[in-house]
Amino acid sequence: MDARNEALSLRDNPLPPEQMIATEKDKILPSLILGIDREITKLEQMIDDLRTRRLENLTRAVTLGIGEDEHAIIIVKESLSDREIDVERFKVEKPEIYKKAIDTEIAAEREKIQKKIDALSDTVKTIRIATLKALLGEDDITALSVPRKITPTYQVQSVKVPIPKGKGIKLLSEVQP
């Protein structure tokens, strides 16, 4: 079988997922994860500190007008804002055109809003539970609801810290067979 045929075969009949087998090193995975979390926290703090120092130094360089040294230069990039009408001046200098412009703007906004309302009635895919509470009983709402999804998230903490209490909180050892 050539490489092309093998690729087609694997596309149609992929290999089964590789089975994970626990090793001796795996016994300390929670501690390894906790250590990685601590390193991430340290690095994030270092990044925050560096960003703060960068901003302070950039502000100082701009204030002092120091834009270059033997290793670096500071480039100023300017951008032009969009044009904007001075509404108060326009109102005073061209009152008749101002009135027509305002009427046109209001009509355009009304049209946008109406289009949103029209589109909403055709595309509503969800109805809030709060809306139905005034119209239906709790049993009807439960019967008409889709099954709730359970999405697990994992948090690793030291064994010295008390386990948080609350609905839906379990130890991984309680969930896994």
**HSE value, Cβ hemisphere, 13 Å, CA-based, for 61:** 15
What distance in Å separates the CA atoms of residue 145 and residue 143, rounded to the nearest whole number? 6
Do 96 and 105 touch, CB atoms closer than 8 A?
no
Q: Against a cut of 0.75, is the pTM above it?
A: no
pLDDT tens per residue across span 23-79: 999 999 999 999 999 999 999 999 999 999 999 999 999 999 999 999 999 999 999
Structure tokens at 37: 């979390």
Please determine, for residue 124, whether its predicted confidence score (pLDDT) is greater than 90: no
Do 141 and 132 touch, CB atoms closer than 8 A?
yes
Please determine, for residue 12, whether its predicted confidence score (pLDDT) is greater than 90: no
Amino acid at 104: T
pLDDT band at 176 (very low <50, low <70, confident <90, very high): low
